Structure 1
Amino acid sequence: MKVSELLTLPALNGMHLIAGRTGIEREVRTVNMMDAPDIINFLKPNEFLVTTAYHIKDKPQLLSSLVEAMANQGCAALGIKTRRYLKEIPAEALVLANDLSFPIIELPAELSLGEIINHTLRGILDQRATELTFAMETHKQFTNLIMRGKGIQKLLDHLSDMIGYPILLVDQYLKPIFHPISTSGIIPIIKKMNEEGFRFHKTKTSFFSFSSLSNKQPYTVFPIYMNEEKFGYLTISGEIKTSDNLITLTIEQATNVISFALMKEHALKQHDRNIRNDFFLHFLDGSFSSQEEIINRAKEFSLHNEQTYICAVGKIDESDSDISYTQLQRRADSIYEFLEDELHLSPDPIHLFTKGKKCILLYEVNEVSADVLQTVETSIRSLQRITASQFDCTISFGVSHMSPSFLQTKNSYKEANDSLLEGGLSKRTEYIQIFRTKDIMELLRIIPEEDLMNFHHFALQGFSKIFTEEEQTLLQTLSVYLETHCQISETAKRLFVHRNTVVYRLEKCEELLGKSLKDSETTLQIRLALRIKSLLNI
């Protein structure tokens, strides 16, 4: 209850405001009665103090100190019976109250302090009951809109009409989710904030406000939480003050209903995503009994067999930070879910699936041309930039050649995955590795595994069959050294070690192999052996 509303209570007829008129919008939440010198130590913010001023009757000048202390404490107002012990309020106290916008109220003589307290508390409780009833009715209205299938958009329209401000619902990345037509002016502001890397942070407060420098417009933001990882913001084009209880209650009820509606919507989307993902993984694993079954099931997910596709396999580049496997998987899921939403903006359909820590993109190719791979690469570059901007990490991709039908995308997946692995051999990050026809890895697959194992052991003789930790480090250094065309400085740079360390490790490799790394035949054999090691996962 505000001070202005307190003054209009019929039961408290006779109360008069004698100072601090500009502060009558202060909130009254509790009322207290006390006549003691140390009264300020017991007062709370938004408290209305009623007193006979008995403790300052002999020193009325102390009233100014009390007014200043109460204003600093955030109290609501001071009520004084002026015809009891204090005949009149000192002029300096009234001037100070006006300066501090702190209301001083003259209490009616015919009411006792106890009666004033009871009437005030009853007024506060009655208003709280009215607000609670209003909140329940408002919540019911919003819930009915959702239950009748009107959707979140209709709810936002209704809320906008109720509070008189345009509203925009954005996700945690400041991308609009729902917005009425009236919010067209907010979208450019949010878009600019997004482009400049601005983010709202999780807050324990129910809402917060900010102003845009470009249009001097205030905005109020109400967080909407769905779970620990996913949340959004109800952005209102206007300032909502904490004293606007009914408007705040209305918006809070709407955010509660929107939160549950978004949770339900997200759960349904996640369920559909899991079904679609399971189908594609079973397809890759060869779990279906016939091609006809695959073709028919693929149609359910808008994957047509006669369509031409390009496959891309992506993986978040590993960092040295100490993150658990669960945290890594959650982060990957969040990133891939974000990328899937971004792909929906593409003019041509792009299908996203996940497999462990990897994502799989199937690009539909409607016009086969020489620059189609360039188009796919441009799209992937855009995804890499967005990922780096939004999540402060990098992601690399391997890309296949075109597949003339959906049934052949299984081979395209292998091409893209091999390309991703090949790009990772040189310790690069944020790369796009296009599959090369007749690649060495493809040729090696033709050779029987036993022959590959024999060649591997021959080329790397001197190393243990089960590599020790030191030998793994030496092989890694040797691999990067060969991939960088035997450039010691570049090898040291990619491995984050001193070049003398690289020289020492290479000399150690020559000692184990019993061969010189300057011999072209030797380095060719080692390159093939390292490819075989990767292929057979030795």
Structure 2
Amino acid sequence: MKVYELFEIPKLAGMSLIAGKSGKDHEVQTVNMMDAPDIVHFLKPNVFLVTTAYHFKDDPKKLADLIRTMSDKGCAALGIKTKRFLQEVPKDALNLADQLAFPVIELPLDLALGEVVDLTLRAIVDKTAQELTIALEAHKRFTHVIMQGNGIRPLLHELSKMIRHPSECIDQHLNVIARNPGAGAVFSALETVLPVHFPAETLSSPLMFSAAAERQTYTLFPMHMNEKKIGFLAVHGELDKTDHLSALIIEQAMNVISFALMKEQAIKQHARSIRNDFFLHFLEGAFSSREEMIHRAAEFSLRNDQSYICVAGKIDGSCGHADLRQQEEIYEFIEDEVAKTEPKAHFFTKGDYCILLYEVQEYGSFSIEDLLRYIQEKVSAYFGHTISFGISNLSHSFLQVRNAYKEAADALKSGEISKKTGYIQTYLTKDVMALLRLIPRQDLENFYAFALQNFYHMKSDERESLLATLSVYLETNCQISETAKRLYVHRNTVVYRIEKCEELLGKSLKDPDTNLQLRIALRIRNMLEPIG
């Protein structure tokens, strides 16, 4: 309770505030009685200290020292029973109290200190009990709103009415999840105040800041969204740190919102799993008929008479088991981002790949590269990773998406072979890979085996090392330095491996026919390997 509320207690009506009136909003959490001069060493913040001033009767000037010490410790107020041992409070002490905005209260002579302590403690307990009762009722009210199935927004509306401030719920990337109708866009101000890599998980207490441009104060309350993510409940306006009732109501709201978000996340993950299972079965040709595929696709809003462009994406670098959680987090982030953009995109995952299936009316009516570059920038900013994409040609129906995925994966892998990162590779119909697909598989295998036959008498590790070096060397137009740079090896190592390749082949790699034969053989090798 506040200092000024002490005067509202009926049996304490005889008290009067004689100094430090501007500190009447100080918070009183407990009350103590001065029974020894050294009590100042044991005082706690927000305490209301009452005394008969017995210890100052011979040296009233020491009262000023007590007031200064209590102010420094963050105490709430000092109550003095005058006309007992001290006829009046010294003026210098009163002036100091006014300067420090520290309340000094004159206690009535007929009221024992024990009664003051008892009455104050009862008032504090009663007020706390009342606040807890209101908070419990607020929790029931919030729960009822959520149980009605209308989402988080109605709950924020109820919360805003209770605390008299607009509010909104935002995720760890400062994106709005739900907003009260009276709330502005808090995240636009947040982006100018908080760093991009703001460690939300390290924020354990509310954060208050002001945006000068908007002349608005915001308070962020960290809130668990699921077992891995922490978001925020953003309240617009300055909240009094001593307003425990509002703090309790906000805490109840966050508890209910957290459970609601966890439930939504579980439902979303279940739906994602079902959607991925369908798409993987579709790519593997697991359906018995064309009609079954079309019918099942329609269940996921995938119309067969719709045109699509398929995009395959992969985080650059190998993802070990320790990185799988972050990979999942990045792909969830991408899924949320593409849901906010046009045209509509269906999101799937397959192993290390994320798959974006864009609905389009006409190829070229939008820049898919711009959309993907936007995603790359966001992933780099929030996660410090690069991601690459391969883009297919236009599919005129959903049933053609299976080939479109292969095109997107081929485009992605062609950039990966060249050791690129953060690239966007478009599949070209007239590319060598497209032409090679016109040749029977057996003929391709024969050509590949003949061109690289001398490499298969070696141990597998050495063979793979030489072929990887040979592939990059040919892709870089026989540039030793660039090959060494992409492979992260010394220039002399590349020279040695290339000489070893020429020795095995019995030909110079700078011979045009040999060069072309090997480039085609290595493309065939890549095409015959299963795509991840």
TM-score by length of 2: 0.90
* Distance across 1 between alignment mates of 2:448 and 2:150: 67
Corresponding residue for 1:350?
345
Corresponding residue for 2:495?
503
Q: Is the Cα contact below 8 Å between 1:170 and 1:178 reproduced in 2? A: yes
Root mean square deviation of aligned Cα: 2.8
* Distance across 2 between alignment mates of 1:411 and 1:273: 22
Q: Deviations over 1:9-41 (max 9, x none)?
A: 123232222221111111111222233333222
Q: Match for 1:99: what amino acid? A: Q
Asked if 1:383 corresponds to 2:401, the answer is no
Q: Is the Cα contact below 8 Å between 1:463 and 1:512 reproduced in 2? A: no
1:471 Cα deviation (Å)?
Answer: 5.3
* Distance across 2 between alignment mates of 1:397 and 1:482: 23
Q: Match for 1:330: what amino acid? A: R
* Equivalent residues in 2 for 1:68-467, closer than 5 Å: 68-184=68-184, 186=186, 189=189, 197=196, 199=198, 201-318=200-317, 324-325=320-321, 327-367=322-362, 369=363, 371=364, 375-437=367-429, 439-442=431-434, 446-448=439-441, 452=445, 455-456=448-449, 459=452, 461-462=454-455, 465-467=458-460
Q: 1:510 to 1:61 in 2, by over 3 A?
A: farther
Task: Give the SS at the match of 1:261.
Answer: helix
* Distance across 1 between alignment mates of 2:37 and 2:505: 92
* Distance across 2 between alignment mates of 1:506 and 1:92: 93
* Equivalent residues in 2 for 1:49-60, closer than 5 Å: 49-60=49-60
Q: Is the Cα contact below 8 Å between 1:80 and 1:107 reproduced in 2? A: yes
1:349 Cα deviation (Å)?
Answer: 2.0
Q: Is the Cα contact below 8 Å between 1:311 and 1:400 reproduced in 2? A: yes
Task: Give the SS at the match of 1:235.
Answer: strand
Q: Is the Cα contact below 8 Å between 1:462 and 1:514 reproduced in 2? A: no
Q: Match for 2:306: what amino acid? A: Q
Q: 1:482 to 1:40 in 2, by over 3 A?
A: farther
Q: Match for 2:452: what amino acid? A: A
Task: Give the SS at the match of 1:313.
Answer: strand
- Bigger drift between 184-193 and 84-93 goes to 184-193
Asked if 1:39 corresponds to 2:39, the answer is yes
Q: Deviations over 1:114-138 (max 9, x none)?
A: 2222222111110110000010111
Q: Is the Cα contact below 8 Å between 1:460 and 1:526 reproduced in 2? A: no
Q: 1:328 to 1:428 in 2, by over 3 A?
A: same
* Distance across 2 between alignment mates of 1:514 and 1:185: 68
* Distance across 2 between alignment mates of 1:284 and 1:277: 11
- Bigger drift between 510-519 and 263-272 goes to 510-519
* Distance across 2 between alignment mates of 1:297 and 1:407: 12
- Bigger drift between 511-520 and 393-402 goes to 511-520
Equivalences, count: 529
Q: Match for 1:506: what amino acid? A: I
Q: Deviations over 1:349-392 (max 9, x none)?
A: 2111111221111112212x5x35x7222322222222223322
* Distance across 1 between alignment mates of 2:408 and 2:323: 22
* Distance across 2 between alignment mates of 1:167 and 1:14: 42
Q: Deviations over 1:220-263 (max 9, x none)?
A: 22222122433322222210121122222222222222222222
Task: Give the SS at the match of 1:311.
Answer: strand
Q: Match for 2:232: what amino acid? A: Y
1:444 Cα deviation (Å)?
Answer: 5.2
Q: Is there any run of 5+ residues in structure 2 with no aligned partner, and where?
A: none
Q: Match for 1:127: what amino acid? A: K
Corresponding residue for 1:480?
472
Q: Is the Cα contact below 8 Å between 1:308 and 1:404 reproduced in 2? A: yes
* Distance across 2 between alignment mates of 1:356 and 1:84: 83
Q: 1:507 to 1:87 in 2, by over 3 A?
A: farther
Q: Is the Cα contact below 8 Å between 2:32 and 2:50 reproduced in 1? A: yes
- Bigger drift between 174-183 and 444-453 goes to 444-453
Q: 1:16 to 1:483 in 2, by over 3 A?
A: same
* Equivalent residues in 2 for 1:58-69, closer than 5 Å: 58-69=58-69
* Distance across 2 between alignment mates of 1:520 and 1:379: 39
Q: Is the Cα contact below 8 Å between 2:226 and 2:265 reproduced in 1? A: no
Q: Match for 2:460: what amino acid? A: F
Task: Give the SS at the match of 2:286.
Answer: coil
Q: 1:173 to 1:33 in 2, by over 3 A?
A: same
Task: Give the SS at the match of 2:231.
Answer: strand
1:74 Cα deviation (Å)?
Answer: 1.4
Q: Is the Cα contact below 8 Å between 1:174 and 1:199 reproduced in 2? A: no
Q: 1:477 to 1:56 in 2, by over 3 A?
A: farther
TM-score by length of 1: 0.89
Q: 1:473 to 1:462 in 2, by over 3 A?
A: closer
Q: 1:72 to 1:512 in 2, by over 3 A?
A: farther
Q: Is the Cα contact below 8 Å between 1:226 and 1:263 reproduced in 2? A: yes
Q: Is the Cα contact below 8 Å between 2:52 and 2:82 reproduced in 1? A: yes
* Distance across 1 between alignment mates of 2:418 and 2:489: 15
Q: Is the Cα contact below 8 Å between 2:201 and 2:229 reproduced in 1? A: no
1:145 Cα deviation (Å)?
Answer: 1.6
Q: Deviations over 1:435-494 (max 9, x none)?
A: 1225444555655469727844752625654422x6544443332221111122322333
* Distance across 2 between alignment mates of 1:313 and 1:338: 16
* Distance across 1 between alignment mates of 2:525 and 2:36: 86
Q: Deviations over 1:248-304 (max 9, x none)?
A: 222222222222222222222222222112111111122222211111010011111
Q: Is the Cα contact below 8 Å between 2:48 and 2:77 reproduced in 1? A: yes
